[in-house]
Amino acid sequence: MFIFIPSKKKNPAHLLLLWSFLIVLMVGCEPTPVPTPPEAGVSIAEIQGAGHTSPYENLTVENVHGIVTMTRGDGFFMQSVHSDGNPTTSEGIFVYQGLIPNVQPGDAVLVSAKVEEREPLGFGEGNLSITTLVFPYVVVLSSGNPLPAATIIGEGGRMPPTETIHGGYAGSVRESAAFEPEINGLDFYESLEGMLVQVNNAVAVAPTNQYREIVILPDRGTWAGVRTPNGGIVVRPGDFNPERIILDDGLRMMPFVQTGDYTEEPIIGVIDYAYGNYRLLPVESVPFIAGGITPDPPLAPATPGQLRIASYNAYNLSALDVEQMALLGDQIVNLMGSPDILGLQEIMDDDGVTGTLTVSADKTYRGIIDAIHFLGGPPYGYLNIDPLPDSDGGAQGSNIRVGFLYRLDTGLSLVDAPHGDAETAIEVFNEGGKLSVSLNPGRIEPDNEAFVNSRKPLVATFMYQGAPLILINNHFISKRGDSPLFGEFQPPIQYSEPKRMQQSQVVHEFITAILDIDPGCWVVVLGDLNDFHFSKPIQALQGEVLHNLIETLPVEGRYTYIYEGNSQVLDHILVSEGLYRRLVSFNILHVNSDFDHRYRFSDHDLLVADFGFSSVYD
C-alpha cells in the first residue's frame, strides 16, 4: 500500500484530514491482533489451586501461558515455564480439544478456555475429577522450546507419602479444606496432576496386568514399605502403599514384566488420572531388565503321620481347558506333594461359558484326577454339589462352585450321610455326645440372603484316625464395585464388605455349633475369602474359635494375590484349636501372582498346611 506523506508547508487542517484518513484506512485493514503478554494471563498454578478442584471451576480464563509437554488423541498437556514455588499447586494441566491437536511438544502457547473438572475414564462412582481447559482458543507463540524440567519423584526430588493415602477427613475429598501432599498420597499426586515427572531406578512390584499396565516403585523401593522376597510390596493394616506408581500404556506400549524387574534409565512422563488411580504416561518406551525371580520350589511329600491340606483358586477351570487340567495335575503331584485334601475354588461346569444348560462339573474333576494318575500320582476322589443354574455368581453360564479332591490311600474315609443338593442346608447333631452331620457333602444355608448370587460354602466330613475332620470350602463375594483407593470418597467405601460380613457370620455360627458339640473337633475353614486377614469379615469368621494360619508367616510373606501392585492376602486356611496344636508347617507357594499372566495357571497363589497325627503330636 502506498501512503502519501504531505509536506510540512501544507495547511495544518489539511494535514489533520490526511492523518484521519490514514487511521481509518489502517483500521479497515484489520491486522492480526497482538496476543496479550503471558504475564497478563492467569497462571496454571492459580487454575489448579491447592486442592482437588479448581478455584476457577466453570469460569473462563484468558491467555494461560505454557509449554506443550505431551499430545494425545483428544488434546494436549501443557506446563508453566516458571513455577510459582508452591509445591501444593500443580504447574501442569490438560487442554481438551476432542480431536488430534495441531500443536507439538515444545510449542509455547497461549490458551483461553473454560475451566472444568472433567470426569475421567472409569466405571462406577467415586473417581476424582481432572482439572481441564475446555473449548480452547490456542495461539502458538513459538516452537522448539525446551520442555520444563521434570519433577523427580523419590530421592533427589519430592518424596511421596509411604503409608497414608488420605487421612484426617471422612467424606468427599472435593469438600475437604485440608490439602496435605506431604502426608496424604492422594494430595501428593494431585499436586503433580498434568506435570512432567521423572522416576529413577524403577522396580516393578507386580507383573504387567491384562490392561498392559505396570506398577512400580522409584529408587528400587529402598524407602518403600514392607517388600516381599520377590520384590513386591505388602498391604498392611492402615497402609495400602501410596508410593506405588502405575505406568499407563495409553501413549506408549508397556512390555511384559514380572515382579522384581527393574529399569536403569529414568522414566519421564506426565501424571494423569483414570479408572480410579493416578497414573504416569511415559513419553518414551520403557525398557526393563529381568529381575530373575523364580517360582517357589516344590514341597516334599508329607512324612508318615502327617496330613496335608491345601487350598487353590483354579481360575475358572472347566473340562474344556485340557492343558490347564494337565497343568493343575502336575502342580498337585510335583509342586504340592500330592496333598491329602485339596479345596478348589472357581471350578466351572463342564462346558465353561459356552452357554448351554450344563451345570455338572464331573468331567472337570475327572480330568484333573486323570492328569494326576497319568503322572504317577495317588488315587483321588472328589466332592461336589452342582449349583442351580446361574445362581452362584461368576461369568454367565459358567456355574462356578467350590469342591474337594481327597486321596483314597491315606486313611481318610467319608462319614456316611446322604449326598447334599443345591438347596438343602446341612445340619449338625449331638448323638449321645458325638457329632453327626445330616449331609455329606452339604451346603451351609444355601437359601440365606448372604449367599444370593454367590458361592455357597461346601462342608465335607471325614473320619481320620478315629475322629471327625470337618472342612468348609468357601468363595466369598469379591470386592468388585468397592470405591477405589485413590477415589473421591475417603476412606474408600467398601460396598461389598457387608455381604462378606454376613457370609462370615453364617459360617462362624455353623463352626460354633460344631464346637459346642465337640470342642476338640478338627475343623478347617479354607478358600478364597476375598478379604484381608486383618479385615472385619475375616476377624468375624475367626472369632475366638479359629486360628488363621496366615498369621504364622512373617509379614513379608503374607500375600496370595496382587492387585494394582499391592501384594495382599485373599486366600486363607483357618483351623480350630485341636488342629492348630498339631500344625507342623504352613506355606504359601508363590508360583502365580508375581509372574507373567500369560503363562501362569491362576492369578492366586496356593496354600499348603501340614498337621502331625503321630504320637509325637498328641
Q: What DSSP letter does each residue of 66-123 carry, written as one string?
A: EEEEEEETTEEEEE-SS--S-TTS-SEEEEE-SS--S--TT-EEEEEEEEEEE--S-S
Please name the residues in contact with 321: beta carbons below 8 A apart, sequence gap of 6 or more. 352
> Sign of the CA dihedral 121, 122, 124, 128?
negative
- Angle 295-300-304 from CA coordinates, rounded to 5°: 155
Q: How far is CA 461 from the centre of its chain?
A: 36
Please name the residues in contact with 336: beta carbons below 8 A apart, sequence gap of 6 or more. 298, 299, 308, 310, 342, 589, 606, 608
Q: Can you give the pLDDT at residue 563?
A: 98
Q: Where are the beta strands (DSSP E) in 292-440?
A: 306-317, 341-347, 380-383, 401-407, 413-414, 428-431, 434-437
The SS3 call for residue 600 is coil
How do residues 169-215 score in pLDDT, each as one tens digit? Answer: 889 998 888 899 999 999 999 999 999 999 999 999 999 999 999 99
Q: Can you give the pLDDT at residue 12?
A: 36
How do residues 470-496 score in pLDDT, each as one tens digit? Answer: 999 999 999 999 999 999 999 999 999
> Sign of the CA dihedral 595, 597, 601, 607?
positive
- Angle 476-481-486 from CA coordinates, rounded to 5°: 120
Q: How far is CA 55 from the centre of its chain?
A: 32
Q: Can you give the pLDDT at residue 39?
A: 52
Closest residue by Cα to residue 368 from 348, 387, 388:
348
Closest residue by Cα to residue 533 from 553, 507, 512:
553
Regions of the chain short of the pLDDT cut 70: 1-40, 122-125, 615-618
Q: Can you give the pLDDT at residue 168?
A: 81
The SS3 call for residue 503 is helix
Q: Can you give the pLDDT at residue 40?
A: 53
Q: What is the DSSP letter of 418?
A: P
Q: Can you give the pLDDT at residue 21?
A: 35
Q: Can you give the pLDDT at residue 9?
A: 35
Q: Can you give the pLDDT at residue 120?
A: 85
Q: Can you give the pLDDT at residue 7?
A: 36
Q: Can you give the pLDDT at residue 122?
A: 61
Q: Can you give the pLDDT at residue 56?
A: 98
Report how far residue 569's alpha carbon sits from residue 549's, in angstroms, rounded to the nearest whole number. Answer: 11
Rounded alpha-carbon distances, angstroms, from residue 295 to 134, 197, 292, 391, 605: 50, 34, 10, 36, 10
